[in-house]
Structure 1
Amino acid sequence: MGFNLPDTSIIPRYTAIVGDTRLERGGGSGWAHIYPANGKVTTELQLAGVADVEAAVAAARAALPGWRAGSSEIRRDLLLKLADAIEATAAELAALDTLGNGYPAMMAAYTPGVMAQRFRYYAGWADKIRGETLDAWNGPAHSYVNYEPYGVVGAIIPWNGPLFAAAMVLAPALAAGNCVVIKAPELAPFSVMRLAQLFAEVGFPPGVVNMVCGGADVGEAIVASSGVDKVQFVGSGNTAKRVLQTAAQTLKPCGLELGGKSAVLVFDDANLQEAAKLGLSGAVSVSGQGCVNGTRVLVQRSIYDQFIAMAQVMAGHISLGDPLLPTTVMGPLISAQSLARIEGIVARAQAEGARLVCGGERAGGDFADGFYMPLTLFADVDPNSALSQHEVFGPVLAITPFDDEDEAIAIANGTDYGLGAYIHSQNLRRAHTVAAQMQAGTVQVNTAGGGMQPYAPFGGYKQSGYGRLGGEQGLLEFLQVKSVWMNLA
């Protein structure tokens, strides 16, 4: 039977915003959005095409001189106005996120507030960008350093958290004085489409923020454009490799925030109940479709059986539901293709000897028409197996025992990824010692949600990407450095 369609009247009817023009029919192909909760079409749109990208880049370049040279106070105040507008339209933005990717309403409701925080944080930086004066020791001279915007930033963001990802890129890029062409993800574009219109509504000059909704050809056109000075990509490693290949043709700098296989380390002195609850959250949050989610749980052997039993009981209380209901904790996966891929991963894990504790089969009944997979726990997972080594991007948790700190650290670091790590221990020495040895850009201790604050840099090691979003480091990602040496002899 499946769930009914939500209210689709709030879906924006444009697929591109170029300068001061909203395009209801882009130059790309026709496209139908599928609501993940019931597999039904919500709307059909004419996507943006390569010509729309070229027009958006031209609009950004035309707006750049005025935006770059304008006072920093104007950028600050507009970003503050945008934060207010986000809060004023929070219910609409959250509903569009749920409609786009099946994000449970309970969680979607938090996103606009978190976004507003990020825009306010970077509004505070807009009028505080400063240079440096250097000691000119080799003669009478004046030597100084300036930080300047790149120019036009091309932003490509993912479908799993489009509003949050957009804010992570747009806030620092605009505060630094850049103009932006952002690609809304075609699988879940609606919230970003509406966000792009908010910039115009609060008074941003036309062309400062341009939005195109399209497929891979649109993303490639953004990266390839000679009018784009830097690319910020948030998404998968495989797509990032194609981004880099295209960017290499013009030696265009790229920032990459990519996937992860984050480890959760549970030591024998941890608060076991809290560690089990937070350990499950990596597979529960957005149905495991998060890059920094903890999806490998490493548990000290002396408490291993106790942890498995506790996690199994907790998992039994986590049920699937209609994303629109405020009580739903776990919603659907993004697509039928994603569901089929994860079913294949589950089958392979069983074939490789992992012990299935719960879940593992597509949900039926009222969920049969949607793309639902229940919380799935595997125990006794070999650290070298595919389930431990590769990103699932679904509600599947791999649990592995370890004997001591050294083994835990070796297993945690033993993948190609390095985005996040989570440590559960009441021993302060142990927590600091282990955190220092984690090959990960963000390490969280006795929590699972404290590392994404606007003031904190976020990014990865190894194949989880490079560059940082968040904090002062995130601002510097969108500024280039100029050294000036003036001879006074």
Structure 2
Amino acid sequence: MSLDRDSFYIDGGWAAPRGSGLIEVVSPHTEQVVATVPEGAVADIDAAVAAARRAFDEGPWPRLTPAERIDVVQAFSGLYAARLGEMADVITTEMGSTTTFANLAQAPAAWMQVEAFLTIARDYGWEETRAGALGSPVIVRREPVGVVAAIPPWNVPQFTIMSKLVPALLAGCTVVVKPAPETPLDAYLLAEILDEAGVPPGVVNIVAAGREVGEHLVSHPGVDKVAFTGSTAAGRRIGAICGQQLKRVSLELGGKSAAIVLEDADLAATVEGLKFTALMNSGQACVAQTRILAPRSRYAEVVEALAAGVAGMQVGDPADPASEIGPMVAARQAERVEKYIALGQEEGARLVLGGTGRPEGVDRGWYVRPTVFADVDNRMRIAQEEIFGPVLSVIPYEGTDEAVRIANDSEYGLAGTVWTADDAAGLDVARRVRTGTYGVNTYTMDMAAPFGGYKSSGVGREFGPEGLAQYTEYKSIYTA
């Protein structure tokens, strides 16, 4: 079956593109074109925003009761659940996520967000009456923020679309989604499901486009809020535009998270955990804990065990269930990761595993060798900059206080873990590390709790009631 598309989803139907540009979707595994889709132009964005604006200003969606919107989103959830396998396969095809990860996180975790937000919305305080300080009651309402521009990245496209789309819909907003040009195919499948669920025309509009057209969407006067996940550099640019316009904005950005291995950690269990938390999605994850902080008393032991664990991971065809690490999303990303591997060696880090060049047995595709560096100083660029690939830096520390200091010595503050036999000691470390999410002997993202980062890792939160609140405005109504 062909994956090619020739239109955009605008105003409840399939609209012919207004420009002539095409996006070639290239398999990171074969380096062959697997589909072509139209490339959104400024005129396509204008049409999508106009449709969303009409749907918000004149249409029924914002004026439905929360319960009525919940019913539509619940129908969408059921239809989405029925197509999880198809969604996972599309994401594996377009961005090279291993089929195991795609069927664990790319599609199911996106659907789990829908269900979690539905539960939150049912008990949400959409309108409440408070006892006013002046003696009269005050009605406090949470109303939809308006037209939302939702801009996901390519690494977990459905997961990051859902964190914006679903709370926006439940709040009564209308949405323009701009998928990344590397991963537009899953968004077409999403559009089909939304249409089947009976979402009214104009409430959701989807136009894949590049960076320049994306900036037009961000700065569009018809957009009331921008919700973005991506690089910190792009987030700074978006934040500047929104700040100038006093436009609402939430930014989920980069990370350079640390995993702290305490002296009493069970090393075998820790390495198994780190293989996921550090190398999920082939290292292409903002929460990847690629700085491994090991006590000097066990440093050589940690380095050896980690290198052996990573060396045992299978690299190869992402469609093969046995593959644990797949390709990078694009040639430029593979080149970027290899440059950091070379830089680490230039900086004086000791290469324990991996290095530049293709992995053994791989003759095509944008693969890089899973790499472990030892004797890393936290001031090195490989320890400070987000690489977004399977490159780990093992950093020594002396005592828990120094471990916490090193973990916090970063411009980012998104995620992290601590590995220990003492849960109380682990919780103490968790409370001291300045990140938005943290795990003790595990790492996960629970959709009932807020997700986001400190410092350059972003502004605002996704998931939980806090994530739903990002799509509302407060209104106070005073009565005599």
- 2:190 maps to a residue whose letter is L
Cα distance between partner residues in 1 of 2:22 and 2:422: 57
62-71 vs 264-273, which moves further = 62-71
**What residue in structure 2 maps to residue 84 of structure 1?**
78
**What residue in structure 2 maps to residue 358 of structure 1?**
353
**What residue in structure 1 maps to residue 389 of structure 2?**
394
Unaligned runs of 5+ in 2: none
Cα distance between partner residues in 2 of 1:423 and 1:41: 42
TM-score, normalised relative to structure 1:
0.94
- 1:400 maps to a residue whose letter is I
Matched, 1:194 2:189: yes
- 1:60 maps to a residue whose letter is A
Cα distance between partner residues in 2 of 1:19 and 1:391: 38
Matched, 1:32 2:24: yes
Matched, 1:244 2:236: no
Cα distance between partner residues in 2 of 1:459 and 1:420: 8
* Equivalent position SS for 1:220: helix
Displacement, 1:107? Answer: 1.2
Aligned residue among 202, 209, 224 for 1:207: 202
C-alpha distance after superposition, 1:151-199 (max 9, x if no partner) = 1111000000001111111111111111111111101111122112210
Cα distance between partner residues in 1 of 2:30 and 2:4: 21
Change (3 A) 1:81 1:391: same
The answer on whether the counterparts of 1:153 and 1:228 sit within 8 Å (CA) in structure 2 is: yes
**What residue in structure 2 maps to residue 6 of structure 1?**
none
74-83 vs 465-474, which moves further = 74-83
TM-score, normalised relative to structure 2:
0.96
**What residue in structure 1 maps to residue 442 of structure 2?**
447
- 1:69 maps to a residue whose letter is R
**What residue in structure 2 maps to residue 132 of structure 1?**
128
Change (3 A) 1:354 1:313: same
* Equivalent position SS for 2:310: helix
- 2:77 maps to a residue whose letter is A
Aligned residue among 309, 314, 317 for 1:314: 309
Aligned residue among 77, 100, 109 for 1:106: 100
Displacement, 1:280? Answer: 3.0
Aligned residue among 382, 387, 403 for 1:408: 403
* Equivalent position SS for 1:459: coil
Matched, 1:467 2:460: yes
Matched, 1:325 2:320: yes
Matched, 1:22 2:18: no
Cα distance between partner residues in 2 of 1:345 and 1:54: 39
Cα distance between partner residues in 1 of 2:361 and 2:325: 14
Displacement, 1:15? Answer: 4.6
Aligned residues: CA RMSD: 1.6
* Equivalent position SS for 2:107: helix
- 1:36 maps to a residue whose letter is P
**What residue in structure 2 maps to residue 53 of structure 1?**
45
197-206 vs 16-25, which moves further = 16-25
Matches within 5 A, 1:335-346: 335-346=330-341
The answer on whether the counterparts of 1:101 and 1:188 sit within 8 Å (CA) in structure 2 is: yes
**What residue in structure 2 maps to residue 5 of structure 1?**
none
* Equivalent position SS for 1:245: helix
Cα distance between partner residues in 1 of 2:209 and 2:269: 42
Change (3 A) 1:13 1:349: same
Aligned residue among 469, 472, 479 for 1:479: 472
The answer on whether the counterparts of 2:427 and 2:440 sit within 8 Å (CA) in structure 1 is: no
Matched, 1:66 2:54: no
- 1:228 maps to a residue whose letter is V
The answer on whether the counterparts of 2:279 and 2:288 sit within 8 Å (CA) in structure 1 is: no
The answer on whether the counterparts of 2:120 and 2:464 sit within 8 Å (CA) in structure 1 is: no
Cα distance between partner residues in 1 of 2:38 and 2:17: 5
Cα distance between partner residues in 2 of 1:315 and 1:303: 18
The answer on whether the counterparts of 1:154 and 1:231 sit within 8 Å (CA) in structure 2 is: yes
Aligned residue among 224, 229, 243 for 2:224: 229
The answer on whether the counterparts of 1:262 and 1:418 sit within 8 Å (CA) in structure 2 is: yes
* Equivalent position SS for 2:351: strand
The answer on whether the counterparts of 1:26 and 1:46 sit within 8 Å (CA) in structure 2 is: no
Cα distance between partner residues in 1 of 2:36 and 2:108: 30
Cα distance between partner residues in 1 of 2:157 and 2:331: 20
* Equivalent position SS for 1:328: coil
Displacement, 1:26? Answer: 4.8
The answer on whether the counterparts of 2:314 and 2:322 sit within 8 Å (CA) in structure 1 is: no
- 1:434 maps to a residue whose letter is V
**What residue in structure 2 maps to residue 13 of structure 1?**
5
Matched, 1:302 2:297: yes
Displacement, 1:319? Answer: 2.0
The answer on whether the counterparts of 1:73 and 1:127 sit within 8 Å (CA) in structure 2 is: yes
Displacement, 1:346? Answer: 0.9
C-alpha distance after superposition, 1:17-65 (max 9, x if no partner) = 1012213545262222221112112223321111111111111122224
The answer on whether the counterparts of 1:321 and 1:328 sit within 8 Å (CA) in structure 2 is: yes
Matches within 5 A, 1:133-212: 133-138=129-134, 140-212=135-207
Cα distance between partner residues in 2 of 1:68 and 1:49: 28
Cα distance between partner residues in 2 of 1:208 and 1:217: 24
Displacement, 1:365? Answer: 6.5
Displacement, 1:136? Answer: 2.6
Cα distance between partner residues in 2 of 1:387 and 1:439: 20
Cα distance between partner residues in 2 of 1:84 and 1:446: 34
165-174 vs 24-33, which moves further = 24-33
**What residue in structure 2 maps to residue 4 of structure 1?**
none
Cα distance between partner residues in 2 of 1:343 and 1:318: 19
Change (3 A) 1:14 1:453: farther
C-alpha distance after superposition, 1:420-440 (max 9, x if no partner) = 011111212211211111110
The answer on whether the counterparts of 1:49 and 1:217 sit within 8 Å (CA) in structure 2 is: no
* Equivalent position SS for 1:83: helix
C-alpha distance after superposition, 1:450-484 (max 9, x if no partner) = 2x121111000000001110111111111111122
C-alpha distance after superposition, 1:309-357 (max 9, x if no partner) = 1112212211211111121111000111111111111111111110101
- 2:44 maps to a residue whose letter is D
Displacement, 1:204? Answer: 0.8
Cα distance between partner residues in 2 of 1:319 and 1:34: 23
